[in-house]
Amino acid sequence: MIATTTLHGCSLINGDWTPGTNGEITGFDPRTNDRLEPAYSLANSAQLKQAITAAKRAFRSYRLTTPEERADFLTSIADNIDASAEEIIQRASLETGLGTARLTGEIARTSNQLRLFAETIRTGAYHRVRIERGPRVDLRQRHIPLGPVAVFGASNFPLAFSTAGGDTAAALAAGCPVVFKAHNAHPGTAELVGKAVQGAVEKHSLDAGVFNLIYGRGVEIGQELAADPAISAIGFTGSRQGGLALSQTASQRAVPIPVFAEMSATNPVFVFPGALEGPDASEALADAFVLSITGSSGQLCTKPGLVFVPRGLAGDAFVELIATKFTQSSGQTMLTKGIAEAWQRGVDTLHSQPSVEVLAQGTAGPGANAPGPVVFESDIQVLLNNAILQEEIFGAASLIVRYDSPTQLHDAAEALEGQLTATIQATQKDIKDVSALLPLLEDLAGRVLFGGWPTGVEVGHAMVHGGPFPATSNAQSTSVGTLAIERFMRPVSYQSLPEELLPSPISEANKWSVPREIDSY
């Protein structure tokens, strides 16, 4: 066992590290399956209620913080994470098997997105102010925070989609306290980042209930969070089963709440004939495809699980290149033993389908839980007649689907479930066919790419990381980028209020210098 002496091994509730009484869990090193110390005690229902009550109390004061105060708070969280980066990366690597280079990039993304949200708060655009000084009434609209938000940590991003990741950052930016449910696969990483948030709460003298970190039994505590009347919204990244369970509970409450769940996607890539022309086109495309599949052992929500390739000599040569490169690849450690086992079940299920063949498989990597990447091949008609071919395999596996005519891609786009991404590989000679397909891809996915591969997700103002069900439970939003703030806010209109009662963003003085649309309709 590998010991760590700097961790409390328990939940952060209302500012205090509080031992639980509902059993315990430990992290595991997936490269060896060795248990990692310390053990983490799990919160009971009463302790979870204490955390939620603290968040509800904190909302009264936190929602009233100025843009500068809230932005400074987020910046302090980022600074604290950067200051502890070495320790966080070391622990995260132990608990996830992810390499130092990957985690170094992820920790930078985590702190940078906090600073981006801070910058957005300072500009004030997220208030979405509209003012109409009408002849009969004066109407002024702004967005206000919803209330305490429950956020669930993701298995595959122990930093950027976890404790202080995108959902937490967006909720805090909106003015909502957070009750964060740590992922049980990387408990130590969650605590180290939780300490960074706690330090920022204390530095800025905020109510301790602004951030609570809970360790608990996944299904049990998740359902309790979703059902509690003080929780106003949920942010979740994980399996379809988990997202649907939370959504069902949240919708059946006396007062239903929104659930923003990122669940499953196969992220189809449509390769048009022109993309395979030229002396080096197929080679470059094949290299990029294999890298997109095998990076992080394929454990990315935007991994391209379906690739449509035209029949013909160029398509055949491209597929042969892919087969060669997959054969030469080797496995990387997956996040947990359970995830590796689920990957194998998915691979076995796909392999058992009629007219689906293994095109190539790489070799297993060193240590435990590092299966060799695998690529399958089938036909577009088989895909259209068998929904199992659409199911996501979380890990380094993909299915090449052969087609005869670009018009067949229309049938595929209409048959596929909702996606996070849809990617086009084409050249100018394919523009007419691409143009005909594009409206279908807009309906299919939250992000449409031309060239490139979908596993790169930029954090910015124009990014959409979401999509129609089942990619997400709510296609009207994004979990990456500054638009994510608006998930945790709602509009309020103020009619004919005297100036002294108007909140700052909609007052005549506008002392926060908020961008506003005035008499523009």
Three-state secondary structure of 412-425:
HHHHCCCEEEEEEE
**Angle, helix 100-123 to helix 85-96, in steps of 10 degrees:** 120
In order of their start, the domains of the chain are: 11-263+474-489 (3.40.605.10), 269-450 (3.40.309.10)
Query: What per-residue confidence (pLDDT) applies to 6?
Result: 82
Query: What per-residue confidence (pLDDT) applies to 251?
Result: 96
Average per-residue pLDDT for the chain: 96
Q: Write down the H helix ranges in 352-407.
A: 380-385
> Exposure of 387 by Cβ count < 10 A (0-12 exposed, 13-18 middle, 19+ buried)?
exposed
Q: Please pick, among 95, 262, 377, 392, the residue that the annotation labels catalytic.
A: 262
Q: What residues have CB less than 8 Å from 436, skipping those under 6 apart?
A: 406, 410
Segment 211-240 shows an average pLDDT of 95
Would residue 86 show up in a list of annotated catalytic residues for this protein?
no
Q: Write down the H helix ranges in 175-257.
A: 187-203, 218-227, 240-251
Tens of pLDDT, residue by residue over 459-495, are: 999 999 999 999 999 999 999 999 999 999 999 999 9
Verdict on whether the full-model pTM lies above 0.75: yes
Query: What per-residue confidence (pLDDT) applies to 147?
Result: 98
Q: What's the half-sphere exposure (Cβ side, CA atoms, 13 Å) at 145?
A: 27
Q: What residues have CB less than 8 Å from 127, skipping those under 6 apart?
A: 142, 143, 505, 514
Residues in the chain: 521
Spatial separation of the C-alpha atoms in residues 103 and 98, rounded to whole Å: 7
User: Does the pLDDT of residue 325 top 80, yes or no?
Assistant: yes
Residue 28 β-bridge partners:
35
User: Does the pLDDT of residue 335 top 70, yes or no?
Assistant: yes
Segment 183-194 shows an average pLDDT of 98
Q: What is the DSSP string of 295-348?
A: GGGG--TT---EEEEE-SHHHHHHHHHHHHHHHT-B----S-HHHHHHHHHHHH
- Name which of 420, 424, 422 is nearest 469 in CA terms: 420
Query: What per-residue confidence (pLDDT) applies to 134?
Result: 83
Which of the four pLDDT bands, split at 50, 70 and 90, describes residue 521?
low
Q: Please pick, among 10, 301, 377, 392, the residue that the annotation labels catalytic.
A: 301
Which of the four pLDDT bands, split at 50, 70 and 90, describes residue 2?
very low
Segment 47-54 shows an average pLDDT of 98
User: Does the pLDDT of residue 142 top 70, yes or no?
Assistant: yes
Query: What per-residue confidence (pLDDT) applies to 55?
Result: 98
Neighbour tally for 24: CB within 10 Å: 16
Segment 15-29 shows an average pLDDT of 97
Tens of pLDDT, residue by residue over 336-354, are: 999 999 999 999 999 999 9
Spatial separation of the C-alpha atoms in residues 446 and 146, rounded to whole Å: 24
Q: What is the DSSP string of 101-154?
A: HHHHHHHHHHHHHHHHHHHHHHHTGGG-EEEEE-SS-EEEEEEEE-S-EEEE--
Query: What per-residue confidence (pLDDT) applies to 1?
Result: 40
Q: Which two tokens stand for residue 141?
A: 């609209």
Segment 502-515 shows an average pLDDT of 94
Residue 358 β-bridge partners:
376
Would residue 176 show up in a list of annotated catalytic residues for this protein?
no
User: Does the pLDDT of residue 520 top 80, yes or no?
Assistant: no
What's 2's DSSP letter?
A: B
CA-CA-CA-CA dihedral for 107, 108, 114, 116, to nearest 10: -160
Tens of pLDDT, residue by residue over 368-423, are: 999 999 999 999 999 999 999 999 999 999 999 999 999 999 999 999 999 999 99
Question: Is the separation of the CB atoms in 281 and 382 below 8 Å?
Answer: no
Segment 109-135 shows an average pLDDT of 94
Segment 435-459 shows an average pLDDT of 96
Tens of pLDDT, residue by residue over 255-264, are: 999 999 999 9
Query: What per-residue confidence (pLDDT) applies to 3?
Result: 41
Spatial separation of the C-alpha atoms in residues 110 and 189, rounded to whole Å: 13
Tens of pLDDT, residue by residue over 266-319, are: 999 999 999 999 878 899 999 999 999 999 999 999 999 999 999 999 999 999
Segment 197-222 shows an average pLDDT of 96
Question: Is the separation of the CB atoms in 293 and 322 below 8 Å?
Answer: no
- Name which of 128, 121, 126 is nearest 68 in CA terms: 121
User: Does the pLDDT of residue 176 top 90, yes or no?
Assistant: yes
